[in-house]
Structure 1
Amino acid sequence: MRSHPLTASGLSRSYGSLEVFTDVDLAIDRGSKVVVLGLNGAGKTTLLRLLAGLDAPDTGEVHPGHGLKLGYYAQEHENLDLDRTVLANMKSAAPDLGETDVRKVLGSFLFSGEDVDKPTSVLSGGEKTRLSLAMLVVSSANVLLLDEPTNNLDPASREEILAALASFEGAVVLVSHDEGAVEALAPERVLLLPDGVEDFFGRDYLDLIALA
């Protein structure tokens, strides 16, 4: 039996009288890639926030497995310390990594030379996205929860980010409107919201991604 670093059972969430989803179960296998699909308002971001432990479900539970280390990417870049430089943010995400290695990873996320000494507060939205994702990739996270990670990215940045995600060895749960991002991740499974139906991922689902 494959071990599950993260499982959830019976998750429900409402906002006032609006029921977002009810009784959703999910089991993330070690190293698995899962894409969450659903129309706007189906609760995709809400589900990731529940899995990340940032919000509490109305019913049900999230069960962290043994050794779980979560990395969560939100569009608000909540993992960045705006008062620190690019380099200092990266070092905080991977304290055991030497400076040369940290700079090498930053280079692969298109931060080179003096860029790494910029205060994070002056970065553009796309640069903050790149830094935020670089920090997740170097952290010791074994499950990444990614909410629209390719928004705000120019084509060159997007290509680098997708290559990094494709080579990430841990599990990934992805919410995205970007067909190319889903194809790069090559998910094995899809979770459809709001019904919580799990299925094997097939190319038929690519048509849903742009709509979602």
Structure 2
Amino acid sequence: MAKGFDGKTLFKDFSFQVEAGERVAIIGPNGIGKTTLLRTLVNELQPDAGTVKWTEAAEIGYYAQDHAHDFEDESTLFDWMGQWTQGGEQMVRGTLGRMLFSNDEILKSVKVISGGEQGRMLFGKLILQKPNVLVMDEPTNHLDMESIEALNLALENYPGTLIFVSHDREFVSSLATRIIELSPSGVIDFSGTYDDYLRSQGVSF
């Protein structure tokens, strides 16, 4: 698979297969093509060469890095979350509670919430949709420590396949079972934890 923009190749001859239940962290410097790779995997972008093929059983949930456009209407938090489930009021309230929203907050407009609160709302949406594959681009951005810990716990208990981009070393270390590093010199595909990967690269910590 290959993809580039404006004459610049971001990745080429890139090939990988993900097994069910793997937790794949995609790392590398800014501008190297990590977000482009995720958007290509979820078919938001088409590769310049090659194809992306998922099994028929794959139900993909995508958490984009830029999600402000998801919150441009006049909905309350309760109504916005309610559109993703047929489970009724208790299901919606319970999901909002798990995402650290109080009963007083759930009737405010989604237009006035912060970037971190938007992120928590999207995590709640994904919980309700129950995808068996999660593709997440920098999910800890804009989150405070309490929210990161809640997300971390939820993902540790997530039974499906996880593919994510993150610069947060602790977050990657706690979750990843496989590391894919994109760099100017090419792609490294390592099976193991992030700490194992760092050791394999001669990094002491």
Q: TM-score, normalised by structure 2?
A: 0.88
For residue 43 of structure 1, what is the aligned residue in structure 2?
Answer: 33
Write the distance in 1 (CA, Å) between the matches of 2:31 and 2:167: 13
Aligned to 1:131: 121
Where do 1:42-191 residues align within 5 Å? 42-77=32-67, 80-83=70-73, 84-93=75-84, 95-185=85-175, 187-191=176-180
Query: What is residue 193 of structure 1 aligned with on the other side?
Result: 182
| Kept after mapping to 2: 8 A contact 1:137/1:164 | no
CA contact (8 A) 1:82 1:119 kept: no
**How many residues matched?**
196
Please tell me whether residue 27 in structure 1 is matched to residue 27 in structure 2: no
Unaligned runs of 5+ in 1: 1-10
Take 1:182 and 1:161, find their aligned partners in 2: how far apart are those partners? 12
More strand by share: 1
Aligned-pair identity (%): 36
Cα deviations by residue, 1:37-88 (Å, 9 ceiling, x for unpaired): 1222221100000011111110010112112211111121167343222122
CA spacing shift, 1:191–1:151, aligned 2, 3 Å? same
C-alpha separation in 1, matches of 2:60 and 2:87: 19
Distance 1:86 1:13 in 2: 37
**Contact conserved, 1:148 with 1:177, CA < 8 A, in 2?**
yes
Q: Which runs of 4+ in 1 moved over 6 A?
A: none
Could you tell me the TM-score, scaled by structure 1's length? 0.85
* Larger CA deviation: 44-53 vs 19-28: 19-28
User: Looking at CA atoms only, which structure, 1 or 2, has the larger radius of gyration?
Assistant: 2
Change (3 A) 1:17 1:135: same
